[in-house]
A and B are shown apart, each in its own frame.
Chain A
Amino acid sequence: MKIANSKVTAERLVRDALEKAKHFDDYHIFTFIDEEGAIKKAKEIDAKIARGEKVGRLAGVPYALKDNFLSPRGETTASAHILEGFTSPITATAVEKLEAEGAIMIGRTNLDAFAHGSSTENSYYGPTLNAFDKKRVAGGSSGGSAVAVALDIVEFATGTDTGGSIRQPASFNGVYGLKPTYGCISRYGVVAMASSTDCIGFFTKSSDDMELLMSVASGQDPKDLTTLADYYNDSENKKAKKVGIIKDFDNDSVDKEIREALKKKCELLKSKGYEIVELEMPALKYALAAYYIIVPAEVASNLSRYDGVRYGFRSEKSGDLDKLYANTRDEGFMSENKRRIMIGNFVLSSGFYDAYFLKAAKARTLIVKEYEKAFKKVDYLLTPVSPNPAFLLGEKVNDPIAMYLEDMMSVSLNLAGIPGLAIPAGMNKNGLPLGLQLVGPRRSDKSLIEFSKELI
């Protein structure tokens, strides 16, 4: 990525990014752009460079922030009506770390409200358009961030991935997207969706950029006790020999051209001396059902805090306190938010807890073990990210199950806490990007990113 120095000023980099953001305004990428604030920060960095002072590893690098990261610059809306008007007094740890190294946020990006969705169509502010075809979805939930990087507006963008929300939009727009090992990057100051699967990650244009961002953002944070020290740097840079492909995903439910792209990459790996091993992983078939029990349960709990009293939107409809809560939540949430909250309350309610929530938690164990077994046989797995390339706007928005099936090959990683890196894998015959994901065991993030260079 371009970093400011004595020849290229931060102000130039930031002004270029802002100009491009304006040029691509019709893609609905941003929920907020901070021209003044970004230029001010750029000038500060340029002054430091002029004085010969030390600047950070990301000096003057313009980036886009998914609008579910808290920062006092602009409202944090999570693209949800219920957070309208909320300006955070605190800053997310990830944002602090990036900005301490000199990265400059130019704007906040659109998402499915509260990151519930796979197309960015569930945003209160309307959908983001795909970088390669404006009639198609950006993917989601981090659609705005993916398109901001794909259209080369910014050098990188932040994302969150609870079940595929970084990897799927990355693959729909032909960029790199990493969902790290659970606990790599602090979740402090990021709007919570499902606490046991939420991961912070990035969109970039190369593996090297991803490596740099991970070395900046990962690490232990006393404000998020699920982070552990050296999660990222602990990963030994071992020499990989075997790459697994999952037989269970090689069928008609996955687009033919995606399966062909996978085969091509396997041929490439073989020509470089790697062994390709075909694995059966039958437990993964149940990952999506388990995910859509566990995640809604955590969503119902995490989203119970939005009541119109302490911050954000409050319904105008008068009445007593109970009506204030119910009207605010009814008007403030999108349909998909409501579906997930209600499913969550269903699977947790008495009489159904054992049959659904407990059952899903046991299925999760089987999924964790399935991956442990696989990584005894191979170093990494290479799989599709989603069953299809970017679909048409409106195609799946009224069919929740069709939308959920988008995540059939991505959610199991979140349930197991393991890393997945979405990499570009060429184009289909209609000029849409195809993506694949490299999957590794826990804490293998660094070597996984390094290994992705073998696939170019």
Chain B
Amino acid sequence: MEIKREDILHLANLSNFSLSEKEAGALEKDLGGIIKYISQLDELDTEDVEPTYQVFEMENVWREDEILEQDASREELLKLSKEVIDNQIKVPKVL
């Protein structure tokens, strides 16, 4: 399929990127090429083939339903953010 500028802007929106004009242009060219390349799967016959999403030997792993000791404390995790007030991470206004 043909990738147009509006497709790039839609994908940038889904991906949460504020792209510059220049970058959107470069991505239009690159993504067009990549999508053309991956579209070669069209020629592969996959009729009656089940999909594979995982390659490990899937088994249920059971454990007691109890809270385990955590590797990092709340304080350590909060310390990683830029601004904290009353144990909450501060962000710019939402509306």
Residues of A at the B interface (CB closer than 8 Å) are 86-87, 89-91, 182-183, 196-197, 222, 225-226, 228, 283, 286, 289-290, 292-293, 300, 304, 307, 309-312, 314, 318-321, 323-327, 329-330, 333, 335, 338-339, 341-343, 345-347, 349, 356, 358-366, 368, 400-401, 404, 415-417
Question: Which residues of B are found within 8 Å of A356, using beta-carbon distances?
Answer: 38, 41
Shortest distance between the CB of A362 and any CB in chain B (Å) = 4
Task: Report Cα–Cα, A366/B50, bound state, in Å.
Answer: 9
Which B residues from 17 to 62 make CB contacts under 8 A with A?
17-19, 23, 26-27, 30-31, 33-35, 37-42, 44, 46, 49-57, 59, 61
Q: A314-B82, A321-B94, A339-B34 are in contact. Are A89 and B46 (CB under 8 A)?
A: no
Question: Which residues of A are found within 8 Å of B73, using beta-carbon distances?
Answer: 89
| Given A89-B77, A320-B93, 5 further pairs, Cβ under 8 A | A90-B71, A314-B82, A321-B94, A330-B17, A360-B38
Q: A289-B38, A339-B27 are in contact. Are A319 and B33 (CB under 8 A)?
A: no
> CB distance A416 to B71 under 8 Å?
no
Majority secondary structure of chain A interface residues (helix, strand, loop or mixed) = helix
Shortest distance between the CB of A297 and any CB in chain B (Å) = 10
Nearest to A294 among chain B residues (CB) is B53
Q: Which of B35, B53, B82 contacts A361 (CB under 8 A)? A: B53
> CB distance A292 to B55 under 8 Å?
no
Task: Report Cα–Cα, A400/B37, bound state, in Å.
Answer: 11
> CB distance A310 to B34 under 8 Å?
no
> CB distance A345 to B41 under 8 Å?
no
> CB distance A286 to B71 under 8 Å?
no
Shortest distance between the CB of A331 and any CB in chain B (Å) = 9
Task: Report Cα–Cα, A312/B77, bound state, in Å.
Answer: 12
Residues of B at the A interface (CB closer than 8 Å) are 7-8, 11-12, 14-19, 23, 26-27, 30-31, 33-35, 37-42, 44, 46, 49-57, 59, 61, 63, 71-73, 76-77, 80-82, 89, 91-95
Shortest distance between the CB of A112 and any CB in chain B (Å) = 16
Question: Which residues of A are found within 8 Å of B18, using beta-carbon distances?
Answer: 323, 326-327, 329-330
Q: A89-B76, A338-B17 are in contact. Are A360 and B27 (CB under 8 A)?
A: no
> CB distance A319 to B92 under 8 Å?
yes
> CB distance A90 to B31 under 8 Å?
no
> CB distance A365 to B49 under 8 Å?
yes
Q: Which of A183, A320, A329 contacts B95 (CB under 8 A)? A: A320
Shortest distance between the CB of B7 and any CB in chain A (Å) = 8
Instruction: Among B8, B15, B72, B95, find the residue whose CB has the most chain A CB atoms closer than 10 A.
Output: B15
Task: Report Cα–Cα, A401/B33, bound state, in Å.
Answer: 7
> CB distance A343 to B51 under 8 Å?
no
Task: Report Cα–Cα, A437/B93, bound state, in Å.
Answer: 53
> CB distance A329 to B16 under 8 Å?
yes
> CB distance A365 to B52 under 8 Å?
yes
> CB distance B31 to A342 under 8 Å?
yes
Q: A339-B31, A360-B41, A364-B51 are in contact. Are A226 and B93 (CB under 8 A)?
A: no
> CB distance B35 to A289 under 8 Å?
no
Question: Which residues of B are found within 8 Å of A321, using beta-carbon distances?
Answer: 91-94
Question: Which residues of B are found within 8 Å of A310, using beta-carbon distances?
Answer: 77, 80-81, 89
> CB distance B50 to A362 under 8 Å?
yes
> CB distance A401 to B80 under 8 Å?
no
> CB distance A225 to B41 under 8 Å?
no
Nearest to A196 among chain B residues (CB) is B54
Q: Which of A197, A228, A339 contacts B59 (CB under 8 A)? A: A228
**5 closest Cβ contacts across the A-B interface?**
A417-B55, A361-B51, A311-B80, A362-B46, A326-B18
Task: Report Cα–Cα, A312/B82, bound state, in Å.
Answer: 9
Q: A311-B80, A329-B15, A362-B51 are in contact. Are A289 and B31 (CB under 8 A)?
A: no
> CB distance B35 to A343 under 8 Å?
yes
> CB distance B71 to A346 under 8 Å?
no
Nearest to B36 among chain A residues (CB) is A401
> CB distance A365 to B51 under 8 Å?
yes
Question: Which residues of A are found within 8 Å of B12, using beta-carbon distances?
Answer: 342
> CB distance B15 to A338 under 8 Å?
yes
Question: Which residues of A are found within 8 Å of B55, using beta-carbon distances?
Answer: 182, 196-197, 368, 415-417
> CB distance A366 to B44 under 8 Å?
yes
Question: Which residues of A are found within 8 Å of B56, using beta-carbon distances?
Answer: 182-183, 226, 228, 417
Shortest distance between the CB of A16 and any CB in chain B (Å) = 33
Nearest to A360 among chain B residues (CB) is B41
> CB distance A335 to B81 under 8 Å?
no
Task: Report Cα–Cα, A310/B82, bound state, in Å.
Answer: 8
Task: Report Cα–Cα, A183/B57, bound state, in Å.
Answer: 9
Question: Which residues of A are found within 8 Å of B46, using beta-carbon distances?
Answer: 359, 362-363, 366
Shortest distance between the CB of B57 and any CB in chain A (Å) = 6
Question: Which residues of B are found within 8 Å of A349, using beta-carbon distances?
Answer: 11, 14
Nearest to A405 among chain B residues (CB) is B37
